[in-house]
Amino acid sequence: FGEYKALVSHPALTNQVTTCCLHDLQEEGLQFHSVCGAPYTALPLATVICSRHELPMVIRRKEAKDYGTKRLVEGSFRQGDTCLIIEDTVTSGTSILETAEVLCKEGLKVTDAVVLMDREQGGVEMLASKGIKLHPIISISQLLRVLQAAERIDAQTAQSVHRFIQDNNRYNFTEFPPSGAQVFTCVTSQSRKIVPGFQHHCDVGPLPKDRWITPTSQFLSLCGFLFHPDDQTTV
Ligand SMILES: O=P(O)(O)OC[C@H]1O[C@H](OP(=O)(O)OP(=O)(O)O)[C@H](O)[C@@H]1O
């Protein structure tokens, strides 16, 4: 679900899909100077949208060349111009964020991104936390409803995809702990009851990946706490 790499081989479908994108960005009244497709799958989508509607486009390179201008963003633009990102599917939001970071480094502003499919795995939330508003054309839940109503999938398949999506929310992992959170670790008894006052470590800010705690049996006696100073919640 949400795999669009083969779209390029189906021009009529590509036209339909890009028409939906355009409709969405017109409906939302998005203002921008240029469009950038997140490489690689969304590149042809952005190209079709820009070509059909004569919108200026820029191209983000994933890898810098070691000859020529070595630019990571190709095309003409002015410093401070707003660039709209087009993406085929969003899972964690990393691809859009990386594209935005490269564009911003070159002096462009990124505030919005249009995506064909939101897989509802935390991308919207992650990007919002970085100041990028995501505009999905369809979400995985909507798609499942449509497919089930059309009897293209059965209830069991829809349920198992839902379960997978719920169990694989990337935002919790990529942003865990959220930035600004204070992290305490406490030793607990084997019964998992907290031993009060045994806070032996305090950290501020996101933990590096190699310090994430995997909740397996070997960590029965270790417990992590987050206290978020903004909303006063403890997780
Ligand atoms: O929100 P994310 O977690 O970043 O996932 C979404 C990205 O994953 C896929 O790209 P892929 O990594 O397959 O690269 P490609 O498009 O260059 O093939 C897809 O085309 C999106 O760009």
- CA 127, 100, 140 angle in degrees (round to 5)? 45
For the cut 70, the answer to whether the pLDDT of residue 113 exceeds it is yes
The arithmetic mean of pLDDT across residues 87-116, rounded, is: 96
Give helix 42-53 / helix 11-27 axis angle, nearest 10°: 70
For the cut 60, the answer to whether the pLDDT of residue 111 exceeds it is yes
pLDDT, tens digit, for every residue of 154-210? 999 999 998 888 888 767 544 444 454 444 443 333 333 333 333 333 333 444 445
Domain assignment present for residue 11? The answer is yes
Domain assignment present for residue 105? The answer is yes
Structure tokens at 208: 């590096």
Ligand 1 centroid–CA 95 distance in Å is 6
| CB-CB contact of 110 with 132 (8 Å) | yes
For the cut 90, the answer to whether the pLDDT of residue 55 exceeds it is yes
Protein residue closest via CA to atom 21 of ligand 1: 89
For the cut 50, the answer to whether the pLDDT of residue 152 exceeds it is yes
Whole-Å CA distances, 107 to 7, 37, 94, 104, 134: 31, 17, 20, 5, 21
The closest-lying atom of ligand 1 relative to the alpha carbon of residue 94 is 4
For the cut 60, the answer to whether the pLDDT of residue 221 exceeds it is no
Question: Coil, strand, or helix at residue 203?
Answer: strand
Distance CA 168, CA 140 (A): 13
For the cut 80, the answer to whether the pLDDT of residue 13 exceeds it is yes
The closest-lying atom of ligand 1 relative to the alpha carbon of residue 88 is 20
| CB-CB contact of 116 with 25 (8 Å) | no
CATH number of the domain bearing residue 116: 3.40.50.2020
For the cut 70, the answer to whether the pLDDT of residue 135 exceeds it is yes
Task: Say how many domains are in the chain.
Answer: 1
Query: Residues enclosing ligand 1, CB less than 6 A?
Result: 38-41, 87-95, 123
Phi-psi map region of 224: left, alpha, beta (phi>0 left; psi -120 to 50 alpha): beta
Domain assignment present for residue 233? The answer is no
pLDDT, averaged across the chain:
78
64 contacts: CB under 8 Å, gap ≥ 6: 70, 71, 72
Domain assignment present for residue 232? The answer is no
For the cut 50, the answer to whether the pLDDT of residue 145 exceeds it is yes
For the cut 50, the answer to whether the pLDDT of residue 98 exceeds it is yes
What percent of the chain clears pLDDT 90, i.e. is strictly above it? 56
| pLDDT for res 2 | 64
Domain that holds residue 88: 4-226
Domain assignment present for residue 234? The answer is no
What percent of the chain clears pLDDT 70, i.e. is strictly above it? 71
ipTM of the prediction: 0.95
Ligand 1 centroid–CA 38 distance in Å is 8
Domain assignment present for residue 106? The answer is yes
Mutate to test the pocket of ligand 1, among 89, 95, 168, 175 (most ligand atoms within 8 A of CB): 95
Domain assignment present for residue 153? The answer is yes
The arithmetic mean of pLDDT across residues 47-54, rounded, is: 93
3-state secondary structure 15-36: HHHHHHHHHHHHHCCCCCCEEE
Name the least confident of 78-87, 121-130, 186-195.
186-195
Question: Coil, strand, or helix at residue 183?
Answer: strand
Higher pLDDT, residue 232 or 131 = 131
Sign of CA dihedral 59, 63, 68, 72: positive
